[in-house]
Chains A and B, each alone.
Chain A
């Protein structure tokens, strides 16, 4: 929590430059330093982004739920907008998970979609769930009720993630009996370093986007207040 609080004090331009630098380092590592995978060759490199983006999306959804809880519990006046922006970022990264996962599945297995891939299926469910979040939010008028309904629905999301994950796991025995694991025996050395850098780059990038969107939305809200005044 401390780290996140400190991150909020960093000015936006600094944050943007830092995430650009880190992203460049990550790209260099992914394409020039990390070794080729023995089985899947070059295409396996998408893994560094696919998995990091997925983790970032979870982090966004968790942040959205945390802010939702703060709204309901502490009545923090800023929490509602922060929760919405975090969920919005989560959906953007979730869509990227679906896209990168599809590309990887096409190259590795020849199909754009695989029901045997737990994470892809989970993200499809979450994508549907959080799209409904936007439908819900924008069919309630601006005000305390919109904030409350959005917050409660965002909280449902964090319960749905583990429950759906479990459901998809146990559905495998009758829907798609195939097990595939990402973590082979040799998950170390440069592979681990590259993954960690890519993960850090994406988390920082997501935070930067979050701050940019939040600043824009706050400006919008302020402008609306001034117009009404």
Chain B
């Protein structure tokens, strides 16, 4: 139980920090809306609805990337990570808490972005929304993990998209499939499988990312 108490305390710290500084969320919101406007002009007239459904997923991945790039910046600047690693808690709790916090930011950004998408382009099906929820879990789990890796390197922010995009391709496949196909069941199941597999892998190996 102390494990979940640790996770709760760490996640609360991130949410509180964001509530006071308001660094990440406004940037994500502005970015996603600006992306939709860019997409509107990059789609020629009479493009099929399917094209914009696909672009929604590009917007989600890039918006998430923007948030994930910021996720470990406070830890790096204030050297909090050293303290967290020294704290008597399981190291995977650091990853889980950070994933929950980034999931909250991404979810909040999408609460605005999805209605805006519906307003600018076309309505969204229930399967698309379900796909977004499942994909968010995978994006935040894997993205937070890779974000922790990237801050440990010299290249830092440069590296995260390079590490993340190849791993995000299955998410895009699952998400776009759920949005455009008549029977989205197996795409949603695939997204859930991705979440479980990579969630377990991240949870099991995070310790090696932050310790030597």
Contacts and interface: CB of A to CB of B under 8 A. Distances in A.
B205 interface: yes
Contacts of B177: 170-171, 173-174
Given A125-B166, A145-B152, 12 more contacts: A128-B165, A129-B166, A136-B163, A139-B154, A140-B152, A140-B153, A140-B154, A141-B154, A148-B212, A153-B163, A160-B170, A170-B173
Contact of B209 (A152, A173, A174): A152
Contacts of B209: 148-149, 152
Interface in B131-187: 149, 152-155, 159, 162-163, 165-167, 169-170, 173-174, 176-177, 180-181, 186-187
Interface of A: 72, 125-126, 128-129, 131-132, 135-136, 139-141, 143-145, 148-149, 151-153, 155-156, 159-160, 163-164, 166-168, 170-171, 173-174
B149 A136 contact: yes
Nearest to A144: B212
A125 B167 CA distance: 9
A171 B167 CA distance: 15
A173 B180 CA distance: 11
Contact of A171 (B155, B166, B173): B173
Interface stretch (B39-47, B80-88, B113-121, B190-198): B190-198
Contacts of B193: 163
20 contacts: A128-B165, A129-B166, A131-B162, A132-B166, A139-B153, A140-B152, A140-B153, A144-B212, A148-B209, A152-B149, A152-B208, A153-B149, A159-B198, A159-B201, A160-B166, A163-B193, A163-B198, A164-B169, A166-B170, A170-B190
A131 B162 CA distance: 9
Interface of B: 149, 152-155, 159, 162-163, 165-167, 169-170, 173-174, 176-177, 180-181, 186-187, 190, 193-194, 197-198, 201, 205, 208-209, 211-212
A159 B181 contact: no
Contacts of B194: 163
Contacts of B165: 128
A159 B187 CA distance: 18
A151 B152 CA distance: 14
A172 B209 CA distance: 36
B190 A132 contact: no
A129 B180 contact: no
Shortest 6 CB-CB contacts between residues of A and residues of B: A167-B170, A129-B166, A139-B155, A139-B153, A167-B173, A144-B212
A149 B159 contact: no
B158 to A, nearest CB: 8
Nearest to B212: A144
Contacts of A151: 208
A149 B149 contact: yes
A129 B162 CA distance: 8
A132 B163 contact: yes
A152 B187 CA distance: 27
A144 B209 CA distance: 10
A164 B170 contact: yes
A140 B165 CA distance: 20
A132 B162 contact: yes
Given A160-B166, A160-B167, A166 B208 contact: no
Contacts of B149: 136, 149, 152-153
Nearest to B169: A125
A166 B190 CA distance: 9
Given A136-B163, A160-B167, A167 B212 contact: no
A12 B173 CA distance: 45
B201 A72 contact: no
B190 A167 contact: yes
A126 B155 CA distance: 21
Contacts of A126: 166
A168 to B, nearest CB: 7
A141 B154 CA distance: 8
B57 to A, nearest CB: 12
A135 B162 contact: yes
